[in-house]
């Protein structure tokens, strides 16, 4: 469900936190996650679910950030899968999405 954002063309370019993009992936259901090597802080992960949330975390190194990147990517995939559940009406789906995003930010704090 995840693939290289823009076919990997962003790798090595400047990211939103002013660092160099190390990893950059997009989910087919509408999300993106990016890992950057920065000067200050040394690493950053920026992620978002299109139209709903944007979240950034900072780390002491890319090595420390890498496993968090993978965990965050898995959790974002779970959130999107649950949001796409057609057995839930739209109002309930939105409520579920906002609750899941709130839990995501609590689990993966800045």
Number of domains in the chain: 1
Of 79, 74, 63, which Cα lies nearest the Cα of 25? 74
The reported pLDDT for the residue numbered 69 is: 98
The reported pLDDT for the residue numbered 92 is: 82
Range of the domain at 92: 2-107
The strand ranges marked E within 6-94 are 20-27, 31-37, 43-49, 53-59
Element (H, E) at 2: strand 2-4
Q: CA–CA separation, 10 vs 46, rounded Å?
A: 14
pTM of structure: 0.93
Q: CA–CA separation, 77 vs 83, rounded Å?
A: 10
Q: For 66-102, how does the pLDDT look when each residue is reduced to its tens digit (9 = 90+)? A: 999 999 999 999 999 877 766 778 788 888 888 999 9
């Amino acid at each position: 469900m995840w693939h290289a954002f823009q076919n990997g063309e962003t790798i090595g370019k400047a990211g939103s936190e002013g660092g160099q993009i190390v990893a950059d992936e997009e989910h087919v259901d509408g999300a993106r996650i990016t890992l950057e090597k920065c000067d200050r802080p040394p690493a950053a992960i920026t992620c978002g679910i299109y139209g709903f949330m944007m979240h950034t975390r900072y780390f002491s190194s890319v090595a420390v950030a890498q496993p968090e990147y993978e965990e965050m990517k898995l959790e974002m995939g779970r959130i999107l899968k649950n949001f796409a559940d057609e057995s839930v009406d739209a109002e309930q789906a939105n409520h579920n999405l906002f609750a899941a995003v709130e839990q995501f930010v609590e689990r993966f704090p800045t």
